[in-house]
Structure 1
C-alpha cells in the first residue's frame, strides 16, 4: 500500500529520472545513508535498492566524520487518487445452468500534501571525501563486495513529508451466482451453490504518515578501489562498483544493467528471438495448466503491489531459495492468487525442483513474464490487464510481432478480428503507454517505435508474448 503510493508518486513526478521510491515505512532513509544497489536477474530490470542501517561515516576509517551541508527547499504539493473497476460475467451450461457475475473496484488515495526536498552540497562532499578511505574490513563492506552483484550508493537527496498525511485504500469485491450446482466427491464434503447466492467483501484501510517521512530519494554511487579509496559518481550515466583484482584483468566491476537507449526494430527483434525458447516452454504446458495460469495472473495484474510481490517470490525461487509468502505485503485475496500460481507450478514439478536448488526452465519463463510486467508503468499494466481474453491476446501478439518486424500488417489478417473499435482504442492506449505508435491507414495497421530512452517497448512485447503463449493450441 505505502510502496504502491510512493511508486505512483515517483512515476508521476520523475518518470525515467533518478528518484527511487521508498518501499517500506520501516526503511530509515537519511542523507548519507548507505544503500546497496543490487543487480537483478534480467539485464534490463531496474536494480533493487536495499537501504542499510549505516551511513557513510560508519564505514569510513579515521575519527573525523564528514558533516554535510544540507539545503532544504519546497518541492511540490501532491495528492493522487488511483483506481479501477473490473466487472465480468460467466454463463455455463453444465447439468444445470450456472450464471456467475463478479465486480471488483479499488481506489488508492495518496494525500502527501506539501513536500520538501533535502539535498547535500555535493561539491563540499566531494572535497570532504578527498583522501578518505572506506574500512574494507567492515562487515557491510565485506558482505557487499563478496556478492559481486552489488554496489554502494549514498543518499544525496530525499523527498520528505512536511506535515502529517495519509494513504487510504478502499477495496470492494462482490459476486453473485444464479442457478444451482452441487458437487459430491468420495473424499470431499458436498458443496452446493444455491440459487441467487452472493458474496461481498469491503475493506477500507487508512495509513497515517508522520511528518519528516521519506517517500523518495536519490543516490550517488561509489567507485571503490581495493585499498578503500573511493570516488563519487557525479554523472548520471556513470555507475559505481568494486575494483576487482585478478590474474586476467583489473578494473571496476560494473553491476548496472543494460543502458537505457532508444529501441530500434532490429534490436527489439534480436532481443525477442533470444527469449523465444521461454515463450515456447509456456506454450507446451498442458492446456488446463495454461488456462489456470492465465486466469490467476490476470487476477494478480489487478494490483500493482501484487505483481511486485509475485515477482519477488519468483525472484527468490530463481535464486534457488524457497518461496516465502510470509514476506508478501499485499491483500489476503492477492496472496491467495499468488499461492494458486505457486500451486500450479508445484503440480508441474517446478517448485520441488526450485526447493532442491535447481531453477527450472518453466519457472524462469514465468519469472521473465512477471518481471516485464513489474517494469511497466501503472497505466500500461492496468490497460494490459483489461486485454487478457484469448482472442485479444492473440491479436496483440500479432501486433507486437509487427512492432519488431516490418511495422505494417493488413487489418484483414487472421487474428485481428478481435480488434473492435473499443478494443482498438484500449490497444492504441496500451502501445502509446509503451512508447509505440499504433495507427490505422485505410486497410493497414502500422506500428512505429518512438525514439525515447528506456525499455518500455521490450517490456510490452515480452508481457504480451508471454501471456499469449498461454493461449496457444498445441
Structure 2
C-alpha cells in the first residue's frame, strides 16, 4: 500500500528520472545512507535498491567524519487518487446444466502527502571532502557487496513529508454464481439442483504517515579502487569495484544476463525479440489448458502491483540463487501467486519427457513477469483493458510491425470493431512506452516516437505483449 503510493508518486513527478520510490516505511533513508544496487537478470530491468543500516562515515577509515553541507527546499504539494473498476459476466450452458457468474471489483488508492520538502547534499563540497579519504575495505558490508559484484551508492537527495499525512486504500470485491444442474436417466425421476451463491469482500485501510518520512530518494554511485580510494559518479550510475586480472581497469557493475547494448533503435528491438524467440515458442507449445490458466493468473496479478512484484522477486531468487523460499512472501501475496506457480509446476512435470530445450519454462515465465513488473501502474491498468485474446492478437501484429518483422500494419474487421475504451487503453499503453498508435478505419499503425528518449521502454512493452499473446 505504501509502496504503491510512492511508486505512483515517482511515476508522476519524475518519470524516467533519478528518483527511487521508498518501498517500506521500515526503510530508514537519510542523506549519505549507503544503498546497495542489486544485480538483475535482464539488462533492461532497473536495479533493485536495498537500503542498509550504514552511512558513508561508517565505512570510511579514520576518525574524522564527513560533515555534508545540506540544503532544504520546498518541492511540491501533492495529493493523488488512483482507481480501477473491473466487472464481467459469464454464461455457460451444458447439456444438463446452466451456470451464470458475475463479478465486480473496484479499488481506490488515495494519498494526501501535502507539502513536500527536498533535502540535498552539496555535491561539490562532498567531492572536496572525499579527496584523500579511503573506504575501509575490511568492513563487513563492503566485503559482502564486493563478493556479490554489486554496486553501492549514497543518498544525495530525498523527498520528505513536512506534515502528518495519510494513505487510504479501499477495495470492493463481489462475486455471484447461480446454477442449475439436472440429472436425468431412463426410467428414473429427474433430479434438479439449484444453487445461488454470492461472495463479497470490502476493505478500507488507512495508514497515517508521520512528518519527515522519506518518500523517494536519489543516489550517487561510488567507483571503488583496490586501495579503498573512491570516486563519485557524477554523470551516470556506473559504479562498482575495480576488477583483478588483465581487465583491471574495468569495473564490475550491474548488468543483465541476455543482451547488453542500450541502443533503443528498431534494429535493437528486432534483435532482442529474436534472441528471446525460444521463450515465447516454449510458452506457445504448452497445452491449451495450461496456457489459459497462466493467462488468467497473470492477468489477475496485474491488478495487484505488490503481488506481481512478489512473484517477480521469487522467480529472481529461483533463477539466480536456485532457491524458491517463500518465507518472505506475505500470506495475501501467496494466495495471489500460488495459482500461477501451480500451473508452472504442472506444466514442467508434463514436459519432463520432452527433448532438451535451450530455455526452461521457469525462465520463460520469469521473462513475462519481469517485463510486466517494469511497466508503470497506468500501463498495467491500460493492459488489463486490452488483455482479451482477440485484442492480444491485434497487439501482436502491431509488435511485429513495430519490430520490422511484418511490413504491413495490423488491419481487418477486428481492428475496425475495437471498442473506444479498448482502443484508448491500447493507445495509452503504447504512448507510455514511447510508441505512437494510430487507427484509420480498419488499419492500425505503431511507431516508436523518439528512439533516443524511448530507451528500452518499447522493448519491455513488446516482451510483455508477445509473452501474453503466447498464452492465447
Q: What is the CA-CA distance between 1:335 and the residue it aligns to?
A: 3.1
Q: What is the CA-CA distance between 1:19 and the residue it aligns to?
A: 0.5
Equivalent pairs counted in the alignment come to: 455
Q: What is the CA-CA distance between 1:67 and the residue it aligns to?
A: 0.8
Alignment check: 8 A CA contact 2:161 2:212 kept: yes
Alignment check: 8 A CA contact 1:165 1:208 kept: yes
**Residues 308-350 of structure 1: CA deviation (Å, up to 9, x unaligned):** 1111111111124433434235x82x53220111111222337
Q: What is the CA-CA distance between 1:259 and the residue it aligns to?
A: 8.4
Name 1:427's counterpart in structure 2.
Answer: 426
- What aligned pairs does 1:95-244 form with structure 2 within 5 A after superposition? 95-148=96-149, 150-181=150-181, 195-235=195-235, 237-244=236-243
Alignment check: 8 A CA contact 1:408 1:444 kept: no
Cα gap change, 1:249/1:32 in structure 2, threshold over 3 Å: closer, same or farther? closer
Partners of 2:114 and 2:350 in 1: CA distance: 45
Cα gap change, 1:122/1:351 in structure 2, threshold over 3 Å: closer, same or farther? farther
Partners of 1:277 and 1:415 in 2: CA distance: 28
Cα gap change, 1:96/1:444 in structure 2, threshold over 3 Å: closer, same or farther? closer
Name 2:403's counterpart in structure 1.
Answer: 404
Instruction: Give TM-score, length-normalised by structure 2.
Output: 0.90
Q: Which runs of 5+ in 2 are unaligned?
A: 184-191, 353-357
Describe the SS at the equivalent of 1:317. Answer: helix
Name 1:388's counterpart in structure 2.
Answer: 387
Cα gap change, 1:299/1:42 in structure 2, threshold over 3 Å: closer, same or farther? same
Partners of 1:412 and 1:75 in 2: CA distance: 47
Describe the SS at the equivalent of 1:108. Answer: strand
Alignment check: 8 A CA contact 1:408 1:446 kept: no
Describe the SS at the equivalent of 1:195. Answer: strand
Alignment check: 8 A CA contact 1:157 1:219 kept: yes
Cα gap change, 1:352/1:59 in structure 2, threshold over 3 Å: closer, same or farther? farther
Instruction: Give TM-score, length-normalised by structure 1.
Output: 0.90
Describe the SS at the equivalent of 2:276. Answer: helix
Cα gap change, 1:155/1:276 in structure 2, threshold over 3 Å: closer, same or farther? same
**Residues 417-466 of structure 1: CA deviation (Å, up to 9, x unaligned):** 76344433322222122211111345543221011242211111101100
Matched, 1:371 2:341: no
**Residues 347-376 of structure 1: CA deviation (Å, up to 9, x unaligned):** 2337999xxxxx971111111001011111
Q: Please give the root-mean-square deviation of Cα atoms over the aligned residues, in Å.
A: 2.6
Cα gap change, 1:239/1:320 in structure 2, threshold over 3 Å: closer, same or farther? closer
**Residues 78-133 of structure 1: CA deviation (Å, up to 9, x unaligned):** 11111100101111113210000000001111111111111111111111100000
Partners of 1:410 and 1:225 in 2: CA distance: 52
Q: Which moved more, 1:439-448 or 1:369-378?
A: 439-448
**Residues 257-296 of structure 1: CA deviation (Å, up to 9, x unaligned):** 6889673222211110011110001011111111111111
Describe the SS at the equivalent of 1:348. Answer: helix
Name 1:187's counterpart in structure 2.
Answer: none
Alignment check: 8 A CA contact 2:266 2:403 kept: yes
Q: Which runs of 5+ in 1 are unaligned?
A: 184-191, 354-358
Cα gap change, 1:246/1:108 in structure 2, threshold over 3 Å: closer, same or farther? same
Q: What is the CA-CA distance between 1:256 and the residue it aligns to?
A: 4.8
Name 2:18's counterpart in structure 1.
Answer: 18
Partners of 2:251 and 2:375 in 1: CA distance: 31
Cα gap change, 1:360/1:71 in structure 2, threshold over 3 Å: closer, same or farther? same
Name 2:435's counterpart in structure 1.
Answer: 436
Describe the SS at the equivalent of 1:409. Answer: coil
**Residues 367-417 of structure 1: CA deviation (Å, up to 9, x unaligned):** 100101111111111111121111111111111111111776355448647
Matched, 1:318 2:319: yes
